[in-house]
Amino acid sequence: MLTIYGAYRSRATRTYWLALELGLDFTSVPVLQARRLENPLSADAPVNTLSPAFLKVNPMGLIPAIDDDGFVVIESMAINLYLARKHGGPLAPATLKEETEASMWSFFAATALETEALRISSTAAAGKLEAEDGKAEVAAASRLLERPLRVLDAHLAATGFVVADRFTVADINVAEIVRYAQPATALIGKFPHVKAWLEKVQARPAFKTMWERRAAEPA
């Protein structure tokens, strides 16, 4: 049995989305980020990233993590690449070249996009998109995102997908990072292939199910 530790309002969304795409039977163990709690170590605190029970799963205290019949994986990109390869099908890389491309674009998103995209997401979550300091944050992040988004846009122009000519785990890994930058509509609007690709993958039933569960989760 696959167990996913995490919260839908976290990086675990990429793993929940993939599990739903694959039609996997899984148990979800809610684990909140400790920063969301006033006293995460109190006796009555919900399970969170500093809870001793969770630290036995991931000593780094980060979500998501999975336990797949005793095999524990703690990094979200590695989790998704592992699950796709294990279960196969069209979402998995079909060749060594595709496997390498899936890893390459996943790591590209994590290293070249995520930090600045999260700045935009955090600004939006704080309700500061229209405030002067919020605008400055978004503008600074957008400047740093233009180059990698231009690279991604040119890549997507060929087939509309990250790897080969079909939807794969790589699309989930990359889209869930680019999503953080979506509140910067002017930025995303500069890259028509990225914008069209996001709309296409976010229209998938599994994404919608994941997003509904995220919306139902306390903020």
Task: Provide the domain limits for residue 69.
Answer: 2-88
Q: Is residue 215 part of a domain?
A: no
The verdict on residue 212 lying in a domain is no
Helices (H), the chain: 13-22, 52-55, 76-87, 96-108, 114-125, 132-159, 169-178, 185-189, 192-201, 205-216
- Please compute the mean of the pLDDT values over residues 17-35 and round it to a whole number: 97
Pick the closest to residue 141 from 118, 166, 159, 116 (CA basis): 116
Q: What is the pLDDT of residue 219?
A: 81
What is the number of domains present in the chain? 2
Establish if 149 belongs to a structural domain: yes
Residue 214 scores a pLDDT above 90? yes
pLDDT digits (tens, 9 = 90+) for 92-137: 999 999 999 999 999 999 999 999 999 999 999 999 999 999 999 9
- Same-domain status, 116 and 182: yes
Q: Assess whether 113 and 62 both reside in one domain.
A: no
- Shared domain check, 103 and 168: yes
Indicate if 78 and 158 belong to the same structural domain.
no
**Rounded CA separation 85/66 (Å):** 15
Distance separating alpha carbons of residues 36 and 9, to the nearest angstrom: 11
pLDDT digits (tens, 9 = 90+) for 128-184: 999 999 999 999 999 999 999 999 999 999 999 999 999 999 999 999 999 999 999
- Do residues 102 and 51 both lie within one domain? no
Same domain, 128 and 184: yes
